Structure 1
Amino acid sequence: MESQKESHHSFTVLSCLFFLCVRLHLAYGGDCPADGRTWVPYKDRCYHFVHGKEDEIKSYTFERAKSLCQNFELLTIQSAEENDFVIEYCPNVWKGNVNVWLGMYYDTNSENMRWLSETPVTFRNWEYSPDSSDLPLMDTCVALHSNSGKWENVSCSHEVENGVVCEIAQEAEQAKQKPSALLSAVVILSVVSILGISAAIWFLHQKHAVGSTIITAFEYHPPYRVLETDQSCLIEAEESDNVP
């Protein structure tokens, strides 16, 4: 009975740990829009790389790029890691060098470049100094070169680019930072450790238990000894003499 309780307790602990691992996966998995388009998750954001038919020349004005990302954001870059992610994924969608529109404009109120989401530009990766551009400030937009990852000032109204990327934040209840490799390793090691300790405790309990199936299973049972012919005859004779 005690061994059954030990086994049941071990099973309960392992089940709880398994459930915890599943919950961690679901909680940190993220959730992108299910609108029939291909969305690529990265950290707490989702990205859609717009691409047309391969036999057609793809070129989009800045206004067209914004309309393609209606209800979403035109690509914003907030860090070097995000910039690297975009240029590393581009070859999966487009062939050759692509100039991708960034959702950036010149704000006359602050006299600085801002993202269309109205957030300030905190990360910059200019190919040339923006001060060297001779574009009118009101007509200044930015494109990202996929071959170098650098940014360049271009005309909002006269330039056409061949890359558009839309993005959106993952759903609030799902958009949590993914667990680190260290946390995952700790969870896995905990499961393995509990399994090993439980198995050792169960084995030691069985070894010292009275009437244990493990011990009795290895008890020595001598084989049945067949009497020799002469001994058998002698026993039969004695039995016959004792019969009244």
Structure 2
Amino acid sequence: MESSTRYFTLFYTVLLILTFRYARGEDAFDCPADGRTWLPFQLNCYHFVHGVEDVAKSYTIQDAKEMCRGYDLLTVKSAEENDFIVRYSSSIWNDKMNVWLGMYYDSDEDVFKWHDDNSVLRYNNWEDGGYDDTDLPLMDTCVVLHSNTGKWENISCTDEPENGVVCQSKAVWIPPPKNSPLLSALVIISVVLILVVSAVIWFLQQRNNPGSSILNLIEYHPPFRSPSNDQTCLVEAEEIEEMP
């Protein structure tokens, strides 16, 4: 009984999540329509800059920023995102490439931060030795991602000026159409299924605990009635007889 209840509760919860996610349009996202080829991943979109016949083309950090004007340079904030870049780099570029990361060194706080939101790194994938294993002046330090390994490395922004470019953008949210027949049908079906599941759970509970029926919890109490005239006279007579 307990396992059945857990099963129906899980089904009920999943159904609610799916219904409200669709109702809010959480999965209705699209990439920018600017003529470039964008690849979606989670809530971001990525444009891998490449040359003719998929031959990687390198750019300076300034050129990279200019090419991604209006967007961000590659920002990697999770292991899943890092793996995504490695996986698609090999399918888009025929050779390994060092890719600029949209990162900068904040000398005031002595930390690296992302350009897109000035946030401190919470995920990193530095090569052995970490970010401080370098003799480069930190103010002239840029960071690249090795497309074949996914590891990050500090390099000089000026002495090693040319690397691959990946532009990044937030996916564009597309609101669901108003009065959508599909949405209305989904909501109705979900409500009906929720009621059915709730009824099944209640039935199973009552079958296994017959003494706990909701009907047994209701006690009948007759309404208060005033005594009849005959009963009143009888009471008064008894009281008179008892008087000395």
Deviations 1:89-125 (A, max 9, x none): 1122101211110001111121111111212111110
SS of 2:150 mapped into structure 1? coil
Asked whether the 8 Å contact 1:73–1:167 carries over to 2, the reply is: yes
Moved more, 102-111 or 57-66: 57-66
Asked whether the 8 Å contact 2:28–2:173 carries over to 1, the reply is: no
Q: How does 1:63-142 map to 2 (within 5 A)?
A: 63-117=62-116, 118-128=118-128, 129-142=130-143
Q: Distance between the aligned counterparts of 1:147 and 1:56, measured in 2?
A: 15
Q: How many residues align?
A: 161
Q: Distance between the aligned counterparts of 2:133 and 2:150, measured in 1?
A: 19
What is the root-mean-square deviation in Å for CA atoms of aligned residues?
2.7
Q: Equivalent residue for 1:51?
A: 50
Runs (4+) of structure 1 exceeding 4 A deviation are: 23-27
Q: Distance between the aligned counterparts of 1:88 and 1:56, measured in 2?
A: 17
Deviations 1:25-69 (A, max 9, x none): 965131110111011111111111111224977221111111111
Tell me which amino acid in the other structure corresponds to 1:87: V
SS of 2:90 mapped into structure 1? helix
Tell me which amino acid in the other structure corresponds to 2:120: P
How high is the TM-score relative to the length of structure 1? 0.59
How many Å apart are 1:160 and its aligned residue?
2.9
Distance 1:107 1:171, change over 3 A: same
Q: Equivalent residue for 1:152?
A: 153
Asked whether the 8 Å contact 1:100–1:161 carries over to 2, the reply is: no
Q: Distance between the aligned counterparts of 2:90 and 2:24, measured in 1?
A: 29
**Structure 2: any 5+ residue segments left out of the alignment?**
1-18, 176-185, 197-244
Deviations 1:162-220 (A, max 9, x none): 3111111112456xxxxxxxxxxxx8xx89x98xx9xxxxxxxxxxxxxxxxxxxxxxx
Tell me which amino acid in the other structure corresponds to 1:65: A
**Structure 1: any 5+ residue segments left out of the alignment?**
1-19, 175-186, 198-244
Distance 1:27 1:126, change over 3 A: closer
Distance 1:57 1:31, change over 3 A: closer
- Is 1:143 the counterpart of 2:144? The answer is yes
SS of 1:132 mapped into structure 2? coil
Q: Equivalent residue for 1:32?
A: 31
Report sequence identity in percent. Answer: 49
